[in-house]
Chain A
Amino acid sequence: EIVLTQSPGTLSLSPGERATLSCRASQSISSNYLAWYQQKPGEAPRLLIYGASSRATDIPDRFSGSGSGTDFTLTISRLEPEDFALYYCQQYGGSPPETFGQGTKLEI
């Protein structure tokens, strides 16, 4: 099973700043099958990025994903108030099961 470790656990920033979230895998993820999700309190997760760097439909271009192999990054270029939420990475390139990271809380 591929274990995903997200860092930091909590990231405290202000609107307008740049956020960099990390997701590290215990082994290489084939085909860069790595996704990022945003979750706000009381809401379902929302797909942001798939294939490590492809933005999902209707996701603003201030969100970007990068990385390969075992190290992946989600960057939010200029934080908007609505961006403060929980963020999870997920791998879907390894043998089952698909696994999630433990999450990064982005707070003001």
Chain B
Amino acid sequence: EVQLVESGGGLVRPGGSLRLSCAASGFTFGAYTMYWVRQAPGRGLEWVSSIISSSDYIKYADSVKGRFTISRDNAKNSLYLQINSLRAEDTAIYYCARVDYYDTGYFDLWGRGTLVTVSS
């Protein structure tokens, strides 16, 4: 089955860290650009970070630059997001998403998300 499954979320205190993972299956993970997209409670979708298939080009939203690090391991079919110096405003469901095969930029496959809650 073609799917993405996120894990690693949880409750963390402000200033803390987490490492999110996204396990891909059913497709050639290494051929695709991957994104992390988040959704704060009751809010819309926000792009967080992206990484191309070779890991040579990485982007971050200004709101997370310097605190979040995206990476991938194509041999393990996995995407990661290291999140440091967490703030209350980082509380959200974090989704991993696959960009279409031709890399035009729309997301044709999403995981179900993992919830990150930042609270003291």
> Contact: A45 with B105, CB < 8 Å?
no
> Contact: A47 with B45, CB < 8 Å?
no
> Contact: A97 with B47, CB < 8 Å?
yes
Number of interface residues of B (CB under 8 A): 18
Closest residue of chain B to A100 (Cβ to Cβ) is B45
Closest residue of chain B to A57 (Cβ to Cβ) is B108
For B61, what are the chain A residues with a Cβ–Cβ distance below 8 Å?
97
> Contact: B47 with A99, CB < 8 Å?
yes
Closest residue of chain A to B45 (Cβ to Cβ) is A100
Interface of A is mostly: loop
Number of interface residues of A (CB under 8 A): 23
In residues 12-46 of chain A, which contact B (Cβ within 8 Å)?
33, 35, 37, 43-46
> Contact: B95 with A33, CB < 8 Å?
no
Q: A96-B59, A97-B59 are in contact. Are A45 and B106 (CB under 8 A)?
A: no
Say yes or no for B32: interface residue by CB 8 A criterion.
Answer: no
> Contact: A43 with B105, CB < 8 Å?
no
In residues 45-90 of chain A, which contact B (Cβ within 8 Å)?
45-47, 50-51, 56, 88, 90
For A47, what are the chain B residues with a Cβ–Cβ distance below 8 Å?
106-109
> Contact: A98 with B112, CB < 8 Å?
no
What are 19 sample pairs from A and B whose C-beta atoms fall under 8 A apart? A44-B112, A45-B45, A45-B107, A47-B106, A47-B107, A50-B104, A56-B108, A88-B44, A88-B45, A90-B106, A90-B107, A92-B104, A92-B106, A96-B59, A97-B61, A98-B47, A100-B45, A100-B46, A103-B44
A-B CB proximity, top 4 nearest:
A92-B105, A44-B110, A35-B106, A100-B45
